[in-house]
Structure 1
Amino acid sequence: MPGTLYLVATPIGNLGDMTPRAVQTLTDADLIAAEDTRRTLQLLNHFSIKGKLIHYDENNKEKQGPVLLQELLDGKNIALVTDAGFPGISDPGEAMAKLAIENGVTVVPVPGANACLTALVASGLPSTPFFFGAFLPKSKKNRKEQLEKWKWIPATVVLYEAPHRIVTVLEEILAIWGDRQMAFGRELTKLHEEFWRGSVSQAISYLKENLPRGEFVLVIAQAEEKPPDDADNTDPLDAVKERIAQGVPKKEALSEIAKQFKIPKRDLYNRLIQEQEKE
């Protein structure tokens, strides 16, 4: 009988966030797969956990994934941990979970700390809906393409960013998305935890005066409203007449187009009547 793959969340800074269930799962696991075995060993030692560590990260996942899968199929229970936070969120744990599921292995999440949600709930911005984009691409060209693609997402956007790139990335966001409201959190749950709130331009000024330190989580407000595409410049009345010609009842066509163009149905109806009277 196959074993179970446990995705175990670990603290993102404060060791007090380690859950009793996570400690027990790591204690009971036959194997512990970790991104950084030295870092995970420190965590295990802190909680007096004895376990066999296996290295599994972004660079060796293609080779090590099948090895872990075979252990699971042989009946071993494996606890997968990331450097910090929840495995599978912007890390190679995602690939391992997919591989296990595809091969009929049970995957069990063991919840705990997560940087994205920690920053989001303290941001003061709407948390429903939200979009998690993780890290933007490293190259400027690819970042620009990604930001253009995500510009009109109808949700609060959460991104991760490194301190050495934070100002550059915010300047690119300002240029492409405009000066939106935002918040950022850094050194989350740690001694020097900081939450900052304001606009994108204000964040740039602040970070130019205060040397960025630690990993950042950016929480950025959604765009106010997407402008109409060229195709939406059609006269609403023409759209109504087209729907009627397609066999849609007049009342239904008026309601549909008025909603689509965000205009009063009565105004559209009056224009239609006037058009028909001219004919």
Structure 2
Amino acid sequence: MTRRHEPRGHAESPFTAIARFVRETAGETARGMVDLLLPSACAICRALHRADADGIVCQACLARVVRLGWPQCSRCGQPRLSATIPLPAEAIPSGVIPPCRWCQRLAPTIRAVRSVCRMDEGTGAALVHALKYDGWHAVAKPMARRMARLEWPADVVRERTALVPVPLSVTRRRARGYNQAERLASALSAEWRIPVWTDVLERLRDTRSQVRLTPSERASNVSGAFVAVGRAHARLRGAHIVLVDDVITTAATINASARALADGGARIISCVTFGRAPEPGDRAVSDYDFIRN
């Protein structure tokens, strides 16, 4: 991890801290006075703006989040086809889009994966960076609200038992001071009204940063890095767990996590992230290739 990626924490002045406290605890009149005298500054663009439900991030920055395109694979959520070219009827006689190549990288126990946005366009990457490296914990709330609105297969919505954030190693958590996946899971729990289980999955060792690794190196890096905690096996037995992480790239981390949860007794695992890294050549191939994919 480079120096510029070290967590800086909340760089709040005493006035900003007081204003934040008043906004969170005082009545509407007092909050209005604080907004007038000390308007909020966006964690992404630093522009002053009126505090609202997502007051830590201005509406302009939230509007610039580039959502994943449609239609998407019903299992992995990867954008599949061009919206401008109709799908040939003979390609889907059952009316269901066939599995895609991205699905093939997922462990068999993974039922579905969903992500909100692209990481190569818009403000999605900036939001993740603010949460993960800059210590802006409150950014998790507007991120989780958008994660909560994602569409899922009906069985996932019906069966999901608990949210499990992908754990950090003890060393990395100590250095960062928190786990960004836990922050997202906590905020998402309030939206979905299902519990967060932070004590069922453990990271056994500190792994290298995945940022500059190839897909095969990523898989090797996290292989065997996770284990289901022994005392949690009874809770996991038969459960449909939803893994939570900030970004998915090659699925190596969620595959390793899912295998550990399945070994611990979980019946099936889904996964939700805020961002999804672009695929090499994403949307650069022909529309017909997406149709045949």
Higher relative contact order structure (alpha carbons within 8 Å, sequence separation ≥ 6): 2
> Do they superpose with TM above 0.5?
no
Structure label with greater radius of gyration: 1
Q: TM-score, with normalisation over the residues of structure 2? A: 0.26
* Structure with more of its chain in helix, by fraction: 1
